[in-house]
Structure 1
């Protein structure tokens, strides 16, 4: 083992230990507050609902520890255990050539990884979500979704892998810049195509019916100057009882989408407030900022990979006996999360800051009390814990804890 191997193992072990430690803190903190509803919610959420949220979060967190250990073990087997090297050598025997071998290598690795992670998804869906009454997915629908995802992965992933590897092999020393341009363009294409071409492959979308809800939404859109191609309701209840709303697409493909489960639980004023919050992300340019950050990180990562592909220790340190562009790309994709794990709190902080800004925008455009009421209902219906461990929340959570978020909005009422 070389120095890079020791560095990788150290970070891999520290990441796992940190995840286990934070999960243990989270479980203890929630359990300690299980029998007391926070003061700001006592008139709105019953003790039974609070306890259900606590138990639901604890169940997910406990299983998450097993999932993290399983994922860490698989990563070690893929790299230092020789899994990737074995697959690479098996494919080279066929004699397809470097480019074809590379494409099949990457696609095969990702397919095998998906199959190995399938039991985790099955357990979460049919055991944990089922236990708490959220799962609406049938085994038949789950299988259909899995097959559709595999088909979509093949249709989109194969050409992308082929183009990226061709550029890596043929575009010279600046191949990483051209691959970045390819990846950025592909990402923008997906954002554009998702609302009209990809999402309908999995769900049904119907225009929101005429009525008070639509009238309030149209008025909100007009006074905020937001243009959209339509307001749709998605059949989220086919798969889950959880409710949500989101924007998707950009330019002329922008759509507003409500889960049918969300519309069942909120009145028209609350729906307007939730939509105003989502509009806040666009008006405060959060979507563009996040996209630019993602592009910037990917540019830095690919530039780094452009140097790593020339370093023999990078391959040998991660269990590969024969250097190649496809091996370097796959290794980089696999180990990237390990080397960026401790940056997670920084990204979470930025996301929480955006949530506060979107809440402020919603409070300016609608009644802050209605957004508070909507959030309380969503916390209750989605069994979101009101008492996360503060350190766990700082490290992971993209949204502020419920008590802080409500306090921020209450100050604007």
Structure 2
């Protein structure tokens, strides 16, 4: 393939991907607003019209922001590629650090810093304007700044050694460097899963053991029934940043722990909390996490193998606006361009995710209460201002969970 041909293919996919995203967002906006006037019949007895309209307006505001973000990200990508931005950064990195690994680290670090800076206005608007407007934001400017600092430090402490190792392997490990890099990535990911609950998550939130004795007894009984061993049940101060509620379990092996947002504990009854937890346990019992990891790492291996091929293709660099090939340029160009080619197929991932959610719901109904799970989900839909009327096609591409109406209907049918 020539550089000119690859430039044309990349630009065609960029137009396709960007246009598809904007079209889906516009469909979603129109569909939600068209159903704003009335609560769907299945939810009319549990969700008042004002809450339904708030969810519609909240969804509309997020969609309108998302459309701007999509356009801006396409412009930034063009600036880094055809505009020569990445080649310019690479030249600066080499002038400062020569041609070794440090030049590559400077390139990747500089690209990350610039990308973060360029996306910051949207993050600030989302947190302090949009979320504030609908009564969800609890984040203070101080917390926002501290989160940014902590994330940056963590990125340096954890990410820099991995990036350095990958760059080193790309230079010295021969034609199979991509396999060794994949093995390093897998080891890093599994290690991160093990240490995240006890060393990383507490840097951002406070986790306290569940103090409600009766609720803890109910949860312990459910865990015993499901054969799930955890390192504890904790309540997280999610209200520190947002009034949204959630629950999850995290960790790996003996570090597994169950986490409830304090906002969820406040809003749901004990039987509803049990049912929501049963759903999360359903993912574990149906081996969804293991299956997802196998798929993720399998796709990662194929992705790095493709990069192994493109690393030595001069048309790959020239076609994306980089005149002088380098190891770090190959790595950054590849992961800049990859989403352009993969988004049109993203519905496959979402489809699989929604299937797993149905299976987890089915499991929860078998060990807990389907009615309690439905009532808990309805409260979460209402309190989180989640739209009950998403556009089906938009949902197919973007939503990891089934639409509320389909999910509740499946639970009622048993």
TM-score (norm 1): 0.99
2:261 maps to what in 1? 259
Offset, 1:212: 1.6
Offset, 1:118: 1.1
* Equivalent residues of 1:315, 1:328 under 8 A apart: yes
Trace 1:291-310 onto structure 2 (pairs within 5 A): 291-310=293-312
- Asked if 1:137 is matched to 2:145, the reply is no
What is the alpha-carbon distance in structure 2 between the residues aligned to residue 388 and residue 95 of structure 1? 50
Trace 1:43-54 onto structure 2 (pairs within 5 A): 43-54=45-56
Offset, 1:95: 4.3
1:62-94 deviation digits (Å, cap 9, x = unpaired):
110000000111011011111100011112222
Trace 1:22-171 onto structure 2 (pairs within 5 A): 22-171=24-173
Q: Secondary structure at the match of 1:246?
A: strand
What is the alpha-carbon distance in structure 2 between the residues aligned to residue 281 and residue 91 of structure 1? 45
Q: What count of residue pairs does the alignment treat as equivalent?
A: 412
- Flag as ranges the 4+ runs of structure 1 deviating above 3 A: none
1:219 maps to what in 2? 221
1:331 maps to what in 2? 333
What is the alpha-carbon distance in structure 2 between the residues aligned to residue 125 and residue 157 of structure 1? 26
* Equivalent residues of 2:361, 2:411 under 8 A apart: yes
What is the alpha-carbon distance in structure 1 between the residues aligned to residue 361 and residue 320 of structure 2? 45
1:234 maps to what in 2? 236
CA RMSD of superposed structures (Å): 0.8
Q: Secondary structure at the match of 1:45?
A: coil
* Equivalent residues of 1:107, 1:157 under 8 A apart: no
Q: Secondary structure at the match of 2:175?
A: coil
Q: Secondary structure at the match of 2:6?
A: helix
What is the alpha-carbon distance in structure 1 between the residues aligned to residue 98 and residue 234 of structure 2? 47
Unpaired runs of at least 5, structure 2: none
1:327-366 deviation digits (Å, cap 9, x = unpaired):
0000111111111111111000000000000000000001
2:381 maps to what in 1? 379
1:248 maps to what in 2? 250
Q: Secondary structure at the match of 1:2?
A: helix
Larger displacement relative to structure 2 (121-130 or 111-120): 111-120
What is the alpha-carbon distance in structure 1 between the residues aligned to residue 300 and residue 147 of structure 2? 29
1:190-214 deviation digits (Å, cap 9, x = unpaired):
1111100100010000000142211
Q: Secondary structure at the match of 2:39?
A: coil
* Equivalent residues of 1:180, 1:298 under 8 A apart: yes
